[in-house]
């Protein structure tokens, strides 16, 4: 009985122990499952963290790309930022951007930009080739890059050597084996780059992973889109930049860009002591073409000149259209002999290339060389323009070579100016008399002893038509300019320029409307403003067509500045005002005082000198006023 109870208890304990073991076993299994679930969750967290870090790097790289694009960097810099960002920040082993060049069947792909991770540095040694020379024709349909471009979808590859199929690069078996071993289990991806519905090229990357998930492929697509956007922005920027320096009608450079290039070329030429040649040309008889055939025909003729310039220009030449029918071309490194050959070739091309609906056109051409005809680029422009106008005066359809400055330059300029004013009917005189004056001026040689008198008489005649109160002052004014300038030891070259400026000023006065010029009574503020501005307006609008404006404008543009700084615009004062301007202004004031006006009688010379003396140091340079007093 006792043993029976004992064994029953033992059995009961055994059952309880068994139950406990079962519970422990179940708990152990449950705990193991928890650990496994936790481990799986941790792995998922790690994967998501990796993806998040990769996404953050991608975003930062995209921000860097955007920053580069928004800074108007050239396309090369943007593409470099993209390829470098993919290897340095996103962990890709390489990133290569292939660009399509050429058209149709002759098109080909070349490497535009590339970046390689440090771990792939041996790849270049294995290839033993400069990848910048890589090229593949679009005709090579088996090449994986061409396939990507043709299919316009992402292509995966396991063989890096597929890139070289049909290219100008050939790999040996040993090279292929080494590359295969190096890139084993590495995914190689090709993504098309589309620009304005046209293929720009292909982005190729090597991933450190054997397979790419959808998220990563989406990111790669995003980077391809950034390349497309970068190309769009760069293309727009280049278009705007090109429009800013290009003439809309002809496609040649415009005057602004030409002037910048001319200044740069002059600096280079003077620094290296190497000449360059400047050619300017003017389409002959544009007005006749417009009148007879219409302005569209005139545009066609202008385009014909532009095409001749393009056809004859070297790659380093700078052909430009100044506006209207005027053109110019800079020939870097060309001396005067080469310049004359180039100018004659250009003239012949224009003459021998008929324009549809018009027929033959011609041009008058001037040519000159820096360091040969002048060491000053602005003076060279003047001399070449004078040569061009001389070609027009001598019968057109010819070239004339610039002549270095001499005492007759200003006389030629004056003759050209007077003929231009008469031919363009800018001076309102009897047509028959105008024709007689034109003939007389054209037959006047700059070496004629009486050429000065002829010029002064014609200018006086012009002035007296509009200012009947002013008689025969031009010659006296010129004599005083010479005396004052020589008293302060001005060069003969500058004296000649002063003479021309004085003539321009007198003529610009007569171009004012008669209601202002001969007004009996006080002027309005608007009329005063017109009088103040008219010398520069006249120089630019009337003289520019004959190439005599630049050195004259320099003397006239400060005409209304006063010695004490109270003039207009009040930027210069005292000795800051150019001496030539100071001489011309004071002399012109003296002759204005001794001339009769509609609103007053002429002052005596004594009163005129007194008024000048009162204004010395205020309006006029006191040194110039004192010289004028001594001369009178």
Q: Which of 630, 621, 511 has the alpha carbon at shortest distance from 575?
A: 621
Sheet holding 276-283, edge to edge: 318-323, 326-332, 276-283, 363-369, 399-401
Rounded to whole angstroms, how far apart are CA atoms 357 and 299? 12
Asked if 504 and 535 count as a contact pair (C-beta separation under 8 A), the reply is: yes
285: left (phi over 0), alpha (psi -120 to 50) or beta: left
Question: Using a CB cutoff of 8 Å and minimum separation of 24, what contacts does 108-114 make?
Answer: 108/135, 108/136, 108/137, 108/138, 109/135, 109/136, 109/138, 109/145, 109/146, 109/149, 109/201, 109/202, 110/134, 110/135, 112/76, 112/79, 112/201, 113/76, 113/79, 113/80, 113/82, 113/83, 114/83
- Which structure tokens are listed for 468? 């009947």
Q: How many residues does the chain have?
A: 632
φ and ψ of 538, to 5 deg? -60, -45
Rounded to whole angstroms, how far apart are CA atoms 386 and 380? 10
- Please report, for residues 144, 197, 357, 620, the alpha-carbon distance to residue 171 in angstroms, rounded to integers and kept in the order given: 16, 34, 60, 85
Rounded to whole angstroms, how far apart are CA atoms 155 and 151? 9
- Please report, for residues 421, 434, 459, 505, the alpha-carbon distance to residue 429 in angstroms, rounded to integers and kept in the order given: 11, 6, 13, 19
Catalytic residue among 73, 216, 325, 379: 325
137 CB-contact burial (10 Å; exposed 0-12 / middle 13-18 / buried 19+): middle
Rounded to whole angstroms, how far apart are CA atoms 331 and 314? 8
Helix (H, G, I), strand (E, B) or coil at 110: strand
Indicate if 211 belongs to the active site: no
Secondary structure of 544-605 as H, E, C letters? HHHCCCHHHHHHHCCCCCCCCCCCCCCCCCHHHCCHHHHHHHHHHHHHHHCCCECCECCCCH
Alpha-carbon torsion angle 546, 578, 595, 483, nearest 10: -90
Alpha-carbon torsion angle 334, 335, 341, 345, nearest 10: 30
Instruction: Just list the catalytic residues.
Output: 325
């Amino acid at each position: 009985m006792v043993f029976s109870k004992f064994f029953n208890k033992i059995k009961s304990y055994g059952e309880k122990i068994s139950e406990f073991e079962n519970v422990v076993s179940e708990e152990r299994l449950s705990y193991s499952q928890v650990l496994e679930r936790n481990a799986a969750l941790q792995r998922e967290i790690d994967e998501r963290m990796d993806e998040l870090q990769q996404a953050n790097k991608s975003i930062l790289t995209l921000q860097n790309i955007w920053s580069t694009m928004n800074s108007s960097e050239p396309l090369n810099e943007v593409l470099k930022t993209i390829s470098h960002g993919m290897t340095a920040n996103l962990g890709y082993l390489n990133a290569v951007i292939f660009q399509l060049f050429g058209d149709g069947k002759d098109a080909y792909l070349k490497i535009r930009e590339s970046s390689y991770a440090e771990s792939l540095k041996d790849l270049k040694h294995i290839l033993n080739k400069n990848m910048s020379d890589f090229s593949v024709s679009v005709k090579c349909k088996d090449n994986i890059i061409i396939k990507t471009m043709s299919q316009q979808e992402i292509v995966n590859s396991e063989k890096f050597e597929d890139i070289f199929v049909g290219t100008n690069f050939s790999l040996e078996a040993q090279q292929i084996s080494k590359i295969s071993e190096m890139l084993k289990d590495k995914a190689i991806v090709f993504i098309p780059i589309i620009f304005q519905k046209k293929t720009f090229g292909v982005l190729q990357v090597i991933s450190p992973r054997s397979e790419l998930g959808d998220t990563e492929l989406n990111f790669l697509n995003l980077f391809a889109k950034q390349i497309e956007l970068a190309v769009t922005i760069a293309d727009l920027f280049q278009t705007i930049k090109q429009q800013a320096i290009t003439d809309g009608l002809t496609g040649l450079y415009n005057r602004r860009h030409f002037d910048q290039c001319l200044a740069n070329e002059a600096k280079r030429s003077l620094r290296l002591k190497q000449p360059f040649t400047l050619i300017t040309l003017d389409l002959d008889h544009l007005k006749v073409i417009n009148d007879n055939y219409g302005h569209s025909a005139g545009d066609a003729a202008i385009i014909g000149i532009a095409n001749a310039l393009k056809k004859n220009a070297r790659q380093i030449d700078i052909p430009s259209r100044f506006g209207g029918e005027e053109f110019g071309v800079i020939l870097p490194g060309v001396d005067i002999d080469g310049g004359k050959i180039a100018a004659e070739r250009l003239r012949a091309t224009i003459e021998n290339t008929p324009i549809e609906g018009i027929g033959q056109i011609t041009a008058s051409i001037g040519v000159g060389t820096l360091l040969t005809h002048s060491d000053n680029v602005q003076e060279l422009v003047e001399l070449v323009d004078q040569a061009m106008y001389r070609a027009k005066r001598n019968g057109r359809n010819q070239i004339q070579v610039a002549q270095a400055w001499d005492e007759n330059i200003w006389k030629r300029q004056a003759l050209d100016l007077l003929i231009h004013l008469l031919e363009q009917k800018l001076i309102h005189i009897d047509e028959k008399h105008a024709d007689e004056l034109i003939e007389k001026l054209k037959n006047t040689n700059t070496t004629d002893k009486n050429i000065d008198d002829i010029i002064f008489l014609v200018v006086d005649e012009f002035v007296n038509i509009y200012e009947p109160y002013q008689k025969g002052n031009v010659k006296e004014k010129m004599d005083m300019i010479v005396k004052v300038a020589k008293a302060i030891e001005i060069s003969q070259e500058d004296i000649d320029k002063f003479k021309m400026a004085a003539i321009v000023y007198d003529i610009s006065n007569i171009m004012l409307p008669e209601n202002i010029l001969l007004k009996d009574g006080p002027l309005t503020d608007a009329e005063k403003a017109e009088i103040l501005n008219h010398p520069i307006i006249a120089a630019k609008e009337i003289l520019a067509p004959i190439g005599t404006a630049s050195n004259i404008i320099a003397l006239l543009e400060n005409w209304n500045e006063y010695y004490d700084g109270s003039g207009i615009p009040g930027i210069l004062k005292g000795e800051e005002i150019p001496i030539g301007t100071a001489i011309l202004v004071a002399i012109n004031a003296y002759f204005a005082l001794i001339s009769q006006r509609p609103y007053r009688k002429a002052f005596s010379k004594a009163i005129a000198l007194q008024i000048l003396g009162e204004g010395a140091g205020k309006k006029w340079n006191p040194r110039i006023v004192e010289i004028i007093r001594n001369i009178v």
